[in-house]
Structure 1
């Protein structure tokens, strides 16, 4: 068993919107990502958890009011819900989702990461 330093792992992430796997349990991946700007509108076939470690993140939702998250807050986006993360400044997030979940969900774009790095 290894203790994971989030600060050390975040320091190894160089690109925005490119999640990296930092842990795995029960078929789930724990991923870290740095975000800045607007992401693609998309949805997933599974639930997705966004936990803000540092910064402020807005999750825009097509059919509900937007969710504004600050450090220490999280949101679970249910399966099938169209959403778009937006970060005015750099934000650091922890994502928890089933292994194999593609970051762009049902959409393929230049930001799609098929095989995230393991840190």
Structure 2
């Protein structure tokens, strides 16, 4: 990591894969991840950690089961925290650029998830 400012928009120009976050920074034991999203992710859950979402550009929706299923809509500039233990499924019809903050080493597909389609890989973020 660097001790210089990081331009998140510049990091986003270095890749175009969807749902494949890059680790832009680390704060204590947390990764600050940026990624492009479009279409639908999978239902998944993080049993022991909350998950922070910030929309930089576009619109992100997150379906949550807490306990009833509902959809949270996030325009650019919005944040939302999915509490630990809550199944959720991010999606974006038009595409978005987002920041996700998770403890370092947290799998992108959570501790439990639906079957993975070809366009989604489990990993813990890719260092820039």
TM-score bracket for the superposition, by shorter chain length: over 0.9
Q: Which runs of 5+ in 1 are unaligned?
A: none
Question: Number of residue pairs matched?
Answer: 119
Structure 2 match to 1:93 = 98
Alignment CA distance shift 1:81-1:115 (3 Å): closer
SS of residue matched to 1:85: strand
Structure 2 match to 1:77 = 82
Instruction: Please tell me whether residue 113 in structure 1 is matched to residue 122 in structure 2.
Output: yes
Structure 2 match to 1:9 = 11
Q: Which runs of 5+ in 2 are unaligned?
A: none
Q: 1:116: Cα distance to partner?
A: 2.3
TM-score (norm 1): 0.93
Higher strand proportion: 2
Structure 1 match to 2:108 = 103
SS of residue matched to 2:17: coil
How far does the alpha carbon of each residue in 1:4-34 deviate from its partner, in whole angstroms, 9 at most, with x for none? 0111101012200001100001100000010
What is the rounded CA distance, in whole Å, between the counterparts of 1:75 and 1:91 in structure 2?
15
TM-score (norm 2): 0.87
